[in-house]
Amino acid sequence: MRERMVIGNWKMNPPTIADAVELARSVADRIPAGVLVGVAPAAVALPAVSDALRDTNLDVYAQDVHWEERGAFTGQIAASMLRGLATGAIVGHSEVRRDQCDDDARVAKKLARTVTAGLRPILCVGESAAEHEAGNASVVIVRQIAADLAEAPRRGLQRLVVAYEPIWAIGTGNPATGEWATLEVRAIRAALKHAGLDAEAIPILYGGSVSARSVAEFAAADGIDGALVGGASLDPDEFAAIVRAFG
Ligand code: PEP
Tell me which residue range forms the domain holding 139. 5-245
CATH of the domain at 108: 3.20.20.70
Ligand 1 contact via 9 beta carbon (within 6 Å):
yes
CA dist 232 and 171 (Å) reads: 10
DSSP for 142-172 reads: HHHHHHHTSSS-GGGGGG-EEEE--GGGTTS
Number of domains, the chain: 1
Ligand 1 contact via 122 beta carbon (within 6 Å):
no
Percent of the chain with pLDDT strictly greater than 70: 100
Grouping H, G, I as helix, E, B as strand and the rest as coil, residue 66 is: coil
CA dist 102 and 125 (Å) reads: 12
pLDDT reading at 33 higher than 90: no
Confidence of residue 199 (pLDDT cuts 50, 70, 90): very high
Pocket test for ligand 1, best of 13, 167, 174, 210 (most atoms within 8 A of CB): 210
Ligand 1 contact via 214 beta carbon (within 6 Å):
no
pLDDT digit string (tens) for 107-133? 999 999 999 999 999 999 999 999 999
Positions annotated as catalytic residues are 93, 165
Residue 225 and residue 192 in contact, taking contact as beta carbons nearer than 8 Å: no
pTM of this structure:
0.97
